[in-house]
Structure 1
Amino acid sequence: MQVLDEALPAEECAALFRLLGDPTRLRILGTLASTDELCVHEIAERVDASETKVSQALRLLRTARVVRNRRDGRHIHYRLDDDHVRALLATAAAHLSHGGDAA
């Protein structure tokens, strides 16, 4: 099975992994994976980061179609874009949890 080909350029995949390579962004995604929707101030509180930092991270994640938002009056609610994002996080966690010796 070939994972990367013309349909999924390596550059796009690498850009996604770079985006996910930030601990704050991963904490945000993990928080959103465990709930339906949250506002910026709720996310900031849960990941122990400033609202400014969370807002900047969410902007990047939204641009990359990793999260989506919904406006409700003055509040903007964020959630994971789809189940592929949740599966990607779960796969990474499963890979890390099985341990094993590095070659």
Structure 2
Amino acid sequence: MTETPPECTHWIGADRRYCRARDAVRRYLPGLRCPAHTPSALRGRPEPPPGPGWPTGAWTTPSPQSASALFDQRAVASGKRRAAAHTYRAAQQAVRGRKS
């Protein structure tokens, strides 16, 4: 299988065709765009300078499973949820370790 190089997918309405340029194509929210059809270029604005990008925490969301494990551990430690004695003691130690 041969992989085709990426091409600009901007629709040029006056010509009733896609741009299909293959030079310096980058991915944007509306799709693959060449430098002439980037969102900034279409608005007549300069391209934003390259920077560090979004912080790592911007794309990570807390997992509901990890949050439920934390709540479950607290419930076991408080005695509100029944658990084996060794599980109860381990949960109490973990909660005590966080408080200090």
TM range, smaller chain: under 0.3
The two structures have a TM-score, normalised by structure 2, of 0.24
- The structure richer in helix per residue is 1
From the CA coordinates, give the structure whose radius of gyration is larger: 2
